[in-house]
Amino acid sequence: MHLYVLRRLLMTVPVLLGLTVIVFLIMSLIPGDPALAILGSYATPENLARLRADLGLDLSLPQQYWVWLTNILQGDFGRSYHLNRPVLDEVLERFGATLILAGTSLALCVVIGAAAGIVSAVRQYGWADRIITLLVLIGISVPAFWLGMLMILLFAVELRWLPVSGMYSIYGGGDLPDLLRHLVLPAIALAVVAAGVIARLTRSNMLEVLRQDYIRTARAKGLDENRVILGHAFKVALVNLIPVIGVQAGFVIGGAVYIETVFQWPGIGRMLVNAISTRDILLVQGGVLVVAASYVLFNLCADLLQYWLDPRIKA
């Protein structure tokens, strides 16, 4: 177990290093001059030259990357031009709100998807299976941002059951019930696609397990059907679902970018949209790097959990 964990941790090092290269190159390919965007009407040739030197933009691309990477390894992600505060402080502050949204969405998609998949497998070719299959197909096909806008029109504008946007009410609120009311719509919109994927894979894994001899033996012994399904079949199927859940966790965090924009959720996704519009390169690089690293770490945790549940799995 210790060797497997060490090997997996070592494998993440080149992955994270590759992420820094990709993020830096993508940001460097964005057209425009960051110094010109920052100075605006004060962009005289002297001011531009001075600011480019301060930002290191007068260095070659490999030199810029090396300076940025060494600063990151020391915990210095730079300073946001637009917000005039350290990038790391802003990213961590916004990432907390994103984790609340993504964590709630992930919990919803796992519970709903697994339950739907189990029912669909147990009632194979029945009405429940057909209805769930149809709903899953619709859920996977509908874009999350479009579903979010429809939910806003229905539940916030027409019925006025839930708030339109934000994380807390502008006047009053600020407590847990207020947070939950604001969380309902974006969390559901973000969870629908991932729930459909988990439901389909749960169904296929459950059908494979239910055909095994030990399941027939358990039923022949007279065990309760719920115990056979949940205690034996689903426990085995869960091992193969854990990597899928890890991938969907990364999808949920990545999908938070547009969902946070639709619902004006004050997370890292909305921060990235604003930073891109203001050409705040260091803030964009820091935010994208944190999101990408989170995706890698979620998959690492999923692999370690799968190995812990089934040590027969090889790296």
Q: pLDDT grade, residue 314 (50/70/90)?
A: low
205 and 171 within one domain: yes
pLDDT at 1: 65
- Give the angle subtended at the CA of 294 by the CAs of 290 and 295, to the nearest 5°: 120
CATH of the domain at 117: 1.10.3720.10
Q: Which of 87, 114, 138 is the last residue of a domain?
A: 87
313 has pLDDT over 70:
no
40-52 per-position pLDDT tens digit: 777 788 888 887 8
User: 165, 263 in Cβ contact below 8 A?
Assistant: yes
Q: Which of 57, 87, 117 is the last residue of a domain?
A: 87
Q: Which of 56, 87, 118 is the last residue of a domain?
A: 87
312 has pLDDT over 80:
no
In a domain, 49, yes or no: yes
In a domain, 269, yes or no: yes
Query: Which of 29, 47, 179, 201 is CA-nearest to residue 101?
Result: 179
52 and 104 within one domain: no
Mean pLDDT of all residues in 158-162: 88
pLDDT at 203: 93
121 and 73 within one domain: no
CA 26 to CA 134: how far, in whole Å? 39
176 has pLDDT over 80:
yes
13-27 per-position pLDDT tens digit: 888 888 889 888 887
116 and 46 within one domain: no
User: 190, 102 in Cβ contact below 8 A?
Assistant: yes
282 and 188 within one domain: yes
pLDDT at 172: 67
Angle formed by the axes of helices 127-141 and 87-122, nearest 10°: 150
244-294 per-position pLDDT tens digit: 888 888 888 888 888 888 898 898 988 888 888 877 888 888 888 888 888
% of the chain exceeding 90 in pLDDT: 22
In a domain, 8, yes or no: no
In a domain, 258, yes or no: yes
Look at phi and psi of residue 267 and say left if phi exceeds 0, alpha if psi is from -120 to 50, else beta. beta
End-to-end CA separation in angstroms for the chain:
11
202-240 per-position pLDDT tens digit: 999 999 998 888 888 888 888 888 888 888 888 888 888
In a domain, 28, yes or no: yes
pLDDT at 236: 86
105 and 42 within one domain: no
Mean pLDDT of all residues in 135-152: 90
Residue environment code for 176-209, b if the CB has 16+ CB neighbours within 10 A, otherwise e: eebeeebbbbbbbbbbbbbbbbbbbbbbebbbeb
* DSSP letter, residue 267: S
In a domain, 14, yes or no: no
User: 191, 105 in Cβ contact below 8 A?
Assistant: yes
Provide the domain limits for residue 45: 19-87
Q: pLDDT grade, residue 133 (50/70/90)?
A: very high
52-99 per-position pLDDT tens digit: 887 777 788 888 889 888 988 888 888 888 788 899 999 998 998 999
Domain count, the chain: 2
Q: pLDDT grade, residue 131 (50/70/90)?
A: very high
For 86, the 3-state DSSP assignment is strand
In a domain, 47, yes or no: yes
Task: Share the mean pLDDT of the chain.
Answer: 86
191 is written with which tokens?
Answer: 């969870």
pLDDT at 222: 84
CA dihedral 203→132→195→110, nearest 10 degrees, is -60
141 and 63 within one domain: no
- Give the angle subtended at the CA of 233 by the CAs of 210 and 188, to the nearest 5°: 105
103 and 69 within one domain: no
Mean pLDDT of all residues in 100-111: 92
250 and 120 within one domain: yes
In a domain, 141, yes or no: yes
171 and 295 within one domain: yes
2 has pLDDT over 60:
yes
196 and 82 within one domain: no
55 and 128 within one domain: no
